[in-house]
A and B are shown apart, each in its own frame.
Chain A
Amino acid sequence: MTTVDEERPAPPELAPARRVRPTPATALYDAFGPRGRRRVLVATVVSVAVLAGFAVFVLYRLDRYGHLQRARWSYVLSPEILRYLGEGMLNNLKASVIAGALALVLGLVLALGRLSGTRAIRVPAVAWIEFFRGFPLVLLILFPYLLFPVYLRAVDPLWYVVIGLTLYNSAVIAEVYRAGILSLDRGQQEAAYAVGLRHGQAMRLVILPQAIRRMVPLLLTQLIILFKDSTLGVAVTYPDALRRGETMGSFEPRVVFQAIIVTAVMFFLVGLVASRLVGVLERHWSRG
């Protein structure tokens, strides 16, 4: 009997071919029969045709208005201009790093405040979080920009961007931490109390180390959003990449189109690489 079993081919679920990542919606349809395959083929041909038609239309339009001219692109893609835009991107990064660090710390304080047993701490923390989360970020950047010159003194636009980003993200990140803390099994906290730890000790030694590890991918995702939002510094004349792209267009009107597109592609590449890295990290950790 055993020999027969050994000779039988492995069941299809275990065959290596099945380990290929399934298409996004495998639950919706079975393997296709001949008619289904024909329909998929038709859909494939139609979608290729539509996409190709769209691409041709866009290229025709670009060419008609002279945007495919080599000189225009080589001007925008010259080393000096790319450095100029790249430095703008570094300004985005600078504002994001400062605001991100501040928001991570402030967010933790707020999350702990919201989970505190003391009413006098909990209420202000909840108010802060709900208030700043419900606000458009542009306004939070405009407020210091408008208030500082009147009540204090004008400072470098960088700080208006940092203040706005920090206020908004402290509230968002506080909620990320809180979700992480609440997602832990209650038994963790109960066990910590049972061995005689106080609330603060239990948080510091038992809850937070686990919660934060669990929350790292979400925190990183929020930091990427923060980076993208740093383009709102345009509202307060902060010289970020987008503003520089726009400025370049205004002193060389023939390349406005190219300047904005190159800027957009730069943001796209940075965002795509960053979010892919977070995805890789997430899978790596969830496996480990």
Chain B
Amino acid sequence: MDAFKRISLFGIVTMAELTYREALNQALREEMRRDSRVFIIGEEVAYYQGTYKVTQNLLAEFGEQRVVDTPIAEEGIVGTAIGAAMTGLRPVAELMTVNFSLLAMDMIVNHAAKIRLMFNAQVDVPMVIRMPQSAGNQLGAQHSQLFEAYFMHCPGLRVVLPATPADAKGLLKTAIRDNNPVIFLENQSLYSIKGDVPAGEYLLPLGKANVIREGEEITLISYSKMVHECLAAAEELAKDNISAEVIDLRCLNPLDKKTIFDSVKKTRFAIVVNEAWYTGSAGAEIASLINENCFEYLDAPVKRISAYDIPMPYNKNLEQAVLPHKDDIEKVAKRLLMGEELWLKR
């Protein structure tokens, strides 16, 4: 595809090659220009230009009133965003990493997620909480966690996890316009990846998965960074004439069950991949949904690939051994398609 322009059904869409980080920055800038109620609040978002540079240069354009540095006070940041959202503003809060969101969990789960129902929909809480998560950067046990399952478990929240620069822009813009509290989980390991991003108004609906690679024989379901591992695995499988379909869920809430079920009914085999721990993961939920809804279509049990249930060690080799990789996906896919008996005899 041309890096700058391509012909779509609707005419010419201007594209630019941007990093995931730049795409997020563009989404923030466009939404802040469009709507004066949108403001950014978080640690190091203004003068430092963002811990991961996602808010770079926004202070210069929008000023201190709309790009607000805070003390290190996660509960205060999220609580401030909730109160502002309840009284008509549209805050985008940034928490430096998902690990610190646990300090704001009371505000997220007990407050943001509850307020609309508890007060009979007299108020909405239109806010976004952006935070990066990931593992594999030798940051040790306290900085190498993924918490999407915690947020997915809680009704009242939206949970969004973009895997590509274009999705990062399209989903963040929609998240900012959504009237619900949206947990927007970026991936630290993806900030520097590049991809074509549509210029200007580009909105992706929440809850619409992307069949990012079509295939016939097995469905690989994932989101965020693991989408790229699944795509790499699918590439390897293709060399052995195995046609794998890759689904990027984009959102865990709302969850696009139809796209998952349609694909599994077609391929009859499914693997769900997440970077987080195994037990109680988002992958476990999805596998269970497939079992409940597609049991008679399945030719084998749904498989789950994840990190091991271990607090992350610092040592590089051990860390990589804890995390899931494309080789694991490839191996499990072959084993599933071959059948246990043949696999053991191979």
Note whether A and B form a binding pair.
no
Which residues on A are within 8 Å of B, measured CB to CB? none
Spell out B's residues near A (CB within 8 Å): none
